[in-house]
């Protein structure tokens, strides 16, 4: 009896350590984003700043204005909110386009690779697709830059959308193929006998059942496109670039304002945190589907 109580306490202690390990960096980031710069550039970290909490950094980033030098801000760029909003909207356009294209392309491909027996080399084609995930992006970035330049879409949002979808397609097909394979074949066959075409059964009968799979693909696709940096910084520049590149500019600026950087950082993780919490089950299903054999 006593032993089990002790082991329970030990488990909870471990859990607290784990949670702190994950959340602590975020807590410091959020607190700093709500401080005035003069309370940030001090020699020790305070949880409760002497001059109180303030939303000035947030207003500066998203509504514009300037930062008062008497509050410790040595530097401010009036109108910075225009650049911030511009790239956030770009990021949303890119991410949503990726989700839609990815669902259509991988949905069709995943269905065919799962269900149509007569495609020559079906399994090896699928393995080949997956194997492309082993190729380092650093090996395609140079020729892809030349290719995008050649077809004239370098430094546009298309230069990001198309490569993102291409990079995400193999994993999406892998997830969706698994979902389609888990459905009993009788489901479709009954509808064919009633005279429905293949496309009709796919759209009306199959797709509604695998909504969790489509959801997982949509979430991965969105997170991937929202956070991607390597292609974005190489193929695009302001005003045609995405939010991660803006974050990077704040982070690498010579005249860095700490509280503003922490505000950008805090904002950039909000969508991911919301998605992680809302779609926990879906994401874990997808994450573990392939790595764990059941």
Partner 1 sequence: MPRKRENALIKSERRFGLALVTPSFFLVFSIIIFPILFSLYISFHSWNWKRPQTIGRFIGLTNYINAITNKFFVDSLRTTFIFAFSTVFLTFIMAMAIALVLNTDFRGRGVVRSILLIPWAIPAVSNAVLWQWAFDADYGWINGILRSLHLISEPIQWLSRGDLALGCVIFASVWKGVPFTAIVLLAALQTVPKALTEAARIDGAGRWGVFKNVTLPWISTSILVVNILNTVWTFQSFALIYNLTQGGPGTATQVLPYFIWIEAFRWMDAGLGSATAFVLMAIIFVLTAVYFKLFYRGGGEYR
Instruction: Name residues contacting partner 1, limited to 224-243 (CB under 8 A).
Output: 226-230, 233-234
- Site for partner 1, residues 60 to 99, rule: CB under 8 A: none
Q: How far is the CB of 202 from partner 1 (least distance, A)?
A: 9
For residue 160, the surrounding DSSP H or E stretch is: helix 158-181
Closer residue to partner 1 (CB): 56 or 159: 159
276 contacts: CB under 8 Å, gap ≥ 6: 283
- Site for partner 1, residues 157 to 176, rule: CB under 8 A: 162-163, 165-167, 169-170, 173
Burial 157-179 (b: 16+ CB within 10 A, else e): bbbbbbbbbebbbbbbbbbbbbb
CA distance 221 to 269: 16
Q: How far is the CB of 64 from partner 1 (least distance, A)?
A: 22
- Site for partner 1, residues 178 to 217, rule: CB under 8 A: 198
The binder of partner 1 chosen from 1, 48, 136, 195 (CB under 8 A): 136
CA distance 172 to 101: 11
CA distance 171 to 165: 11
Q: Does 149 bind partner 1 (CB under 8 A)?
A: no
Q: How far is the CB of 63 from partner 1 (least distance, A)?
A: 21
Q: Does 291 bind partner 1 (CB under 8 A)?
A: yes
Q: How far is the CB of 67 from partner 1 (least distance, A)?
A: 16
CA 123 from centroid of its chain's CA atoms: 29
């Amino acid at each position: 009896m006593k032993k089990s109580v002790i082991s329970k306490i030990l488990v909870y202690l471990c859990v607290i350590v784990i949670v702190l390990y994950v959340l602590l960096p975020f807590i410091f980031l959020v607190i700093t984003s709500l401080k005035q710069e003069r309370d940030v550039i001090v020699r020790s970290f305070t949880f409760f700043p002497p001059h109180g909490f303030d939303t000035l950094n947030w207003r500066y980033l998203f509504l514009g204005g300037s930062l008062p030098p008497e509050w410790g801000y040595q530097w401010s760029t009036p109108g910075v909110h225009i650049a911030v909003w511009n790239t956030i909207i770009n990021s949303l356009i890119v991410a949503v386009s990726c989700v839609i294209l990815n669902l259509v392309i991988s949905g069709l491909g995943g269905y065919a690779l799962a269900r149509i027996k007569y495609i020559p080399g079906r399994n090896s084609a699928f393995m080949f697709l997956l194997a492309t995930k082993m190729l380092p992006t650093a090996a395609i970035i140079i020729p892809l830059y030349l290719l995008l330049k050649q077809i004239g879409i370098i430094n546009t949002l298309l230069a990001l959308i198309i490569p993102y979808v291409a990079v995400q397609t193999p994993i999406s097909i892998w997830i969706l193929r698994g979902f389609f394979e888990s459905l009993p074949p009788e489901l479709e066959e009954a509808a064919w006998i009633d005279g429905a075409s293949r496309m009709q059964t796919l759209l009306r009968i199959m797709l509604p059942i695998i909504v969790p799979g489509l959801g997982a693909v949509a979430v991965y696709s969105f997170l991937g496109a929202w956070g991607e940096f390597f292609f974005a910084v190489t193929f695009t520049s302001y005003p045609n670039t995405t939010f991660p590149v803006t974050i990077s500019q704040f982070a690498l600026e010579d005249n860095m304002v700490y509280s503003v950087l922490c505000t950008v950082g805090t904002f950039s993780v909000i969508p991911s945190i919301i998605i992680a919490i809302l779609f926990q089950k879906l994401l874990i299903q997808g994450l573990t589907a392939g790595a764990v054999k059941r």
